[in-house]
Amino acid sequence: MARNGFSEFLIARRAELRPSDVGLPEGRRRRTPGLRREEVAVRAGVSADYLARLEQGRDTNPSIAVIDALADALLLRGDDRQYFSMLAFAPGNQSRCPGREAAEEQVAPTIEKILHALQPTPAFVVGRKLNVLGWNQAWADFVAPLGLLDGPGQPNLAWYTFTHPAARHILHNWEYAADTFAATLCRAKLHWPGDDSLRETIEALRRLPDFTDRWKPHRVGVSGSGTLELDHPVHGLIEIPYETLEVDRDQSVVVWLADRAGAHAPGLRLVPTGR
């Protein structure tokens, strides 16, 4: 059987932990970093053979008690623990799920009205592959000088971040953006395992070393809010908070809160907050 998301998580997390993290001596004869399979098995109270079957995708039905014990053994907390449990409850989906209907790439008229109503606050709609499916004029005016709208077809946040020659200069917190988009696509792969277009997008991105370095199936906690730090060609250095509003499982509306932008961007027309 092919490995699934749960088995990939187990292997990646075991390799990430150091013996000292769990109170074990480092030793001198470790051939690879991380914990040995036997060490995790002992901590979780399962056999090393059973853990091997889980890691190889040969056993896809661990009990709730085993899942909790493994989460404790791997020092999982918060969102990582929740995601680990999600993978365990449907571990075979990613390898057995048949192809599904492609994602809805059209923005509904009601969402277009919302984008228009948000004007002059920059806002856009993003799909499951991080394609930008629609936007209002305020967002277009703001991102056009960044090169995000260059070229034919829909702009894509991940492709821009990892391939546009100006992205690293424009995004002062490039590492944050890159990690966020990689984790977003990782979570999308869990939700839509049969989406061939999504899979092809991820496979293409994984040919890029910077993306591959951030592709961590055991790290997919994604916040719907954050702050972009930009060196804007027109407005200069600026920090823009953003909020993500989920429309459905296919699309989200992202709002750039220009009314709260950093004051060191004198060229930006701020939107009154009403306070």
Q: What is the pLDDT of residues 135-165, one digit of tens each?
A: 999 999 999 999 999 878 889 999 999 999 9
Task: Say what the pLDDT of residue 101 is.
Answer: 56
Task: Provide the 8-state DSSP code for 225.
Answer: E
What is the enclosing helix (H) or strand (E) of 243? strand 236-246
What fold, for 5-96? 434 Repressor (Amino-terminal Domain) (1.10.260)
Task: Say what the pLDDT of residue 68 is.
Answer: 94
* Domain boundaries, given as residue ranges, for the chain: 5-96, 109-260
Contact predicate 134/115, CB 8 Å: yes
Spatial separation of the C-alpha atoms in residues 61 and 49, rounded to whole Å: 15
With 70 as the cut, is the pLDDT of residue 95 above it? Answer: no
Of 5-9, 24-28, 74-78, 96-100, minimum mean pLDDT range: 96-100
Spatial separation of the C-alpha atoms in residues 18 and 35, rounded to whole Å: 6
What fold, for 109-260? Beta-Lactamase (3.30.450)
**Angle between the N-to-C axes of helices 5-16 and 78-89, in degrees from 0 to 180, rounded to the nearest 10:** 140
